[in-house]
Amino acid sequence: MKTYFIGLILLTTLVGCKSNNVEMHQMQNGNQAIVDEANRRVIVINQSDRIIDVVNIDLNDDEIKLIKKLKETNDKKMKVIEWPSVIPPKESYTVEFATRFYNDQCLFKLRISPWNERLANSYGFRVNSVELDDSTGFTLENIDLSNARWTRVLNENGFPEALVLSGKIHMTLESYMEIHTWSPTWNPSSNRYDY
C-alpha cells in the first residue's frame, strides 16, 4: 500500500512537472506506460491503476528513436487495417477486406455489399481463397475459403444488405507486418485480382 501511494505521488509530480513532455501509451498486455522524455523516466501502471514499475532510463537520441519506431510498429499491429476494396469485373457489388493482428493470429473480415439479385441467387459468386502478398509479390499466406459459411447481414427493415465472413489464421507478427496486398481468387476459373 505504501508503494502505491509513493507511486501515486511520483505520478502526480511527473504529470505536474512537464506535462508537455509526458506521453501515455497503452501496452499490448493492457498495462499503461507513462513516458517522461525530459526526465528520462517510465512508469508502468497495471489495469487496476496500480504502479507496478518505475524505471529511470538514460537513453541517447538514437535509442529514443528506436523506441518510437517500436511503438509505431506496435500501434500498427494492434489497429484494424482496412485494405482497398474490390469491385469484381462486370459486377455491381464491392468486396471489403480488413485485418488485425492478435495473439499470433491474423484476424480477417470480408464484407460484400450492396445486396443484389446476383448475391441472392446462390450468393452469385464463389470466393475460393484470399492471398496475402508481400511488396515483392510473393505469397505470405493463402486463406482457403472454399468451405466458408457466409452470413447475411440484415438492415433495420429486415432485408439483406450484405454478406460477411469473419475468420482467423495463424501468422507470425513478422509475416503480418510484411503484408502489402491482398488478392481474392474467384470461382473455379481462378481469376485473380490484386488490390
What digits encode the pLDDT tens for the residues 91-148?
778 889 999 988 889 999 999 888 777 666 655 456 788 999 999 999 999 999 888 8
DSSP string, 9-56: HHHHHHHHH-GGGEEEEE-TTS-EEEEETTTTEEEEE-TTS-EEEEEE
**Residue 63 domain flag:** no
My answer on whether 180 and 92 are in the same domain is: yes
My answer on whether 88 and 160 are in the same domain is: yes
**Residue 169 domain flag:** yes
My answer on whether 178 and 130 are in the same domain is: yes
**Residue 73 domain flag:** no
Which of 10-14, 24-28, 96-100 is the most confident on average?
A: 96-100
My answer on whether 95 and 140 are in the same domain is: yes
My answer on whether 114 and 174 are in the same domain is: yes
For the whole prediction, is pTM greater than 0.75? no
pLDDT in tens, 155-168: 888 888 888 999 99
Percent of the chain residues past pLDDT 70, beyond the cut: 68
Judge residue 31's burial from the number of C-beta atoms within 10 Å of its C-beta, 0-12 exposed, 13-18 middle, 19 or more buried: middle
Number of domains in the chain: 2
**Residue 96 domain flag:** yes
Three cell numbers at 62? 538514437
My answer on whether 117 and 178 are in the same domain is: yes
What pLDDT is stored for residue 108 in this prediction?
95
pLDDT band of 195, cuts 50, 70, 90: very low
Domain residues for 145? 81-192
pLDDT band of 43, cuts 50, 70, 90: confident
My answer on whether 52 and 146 are in the same domain is: no
Three cell numbers at 15? 504529470
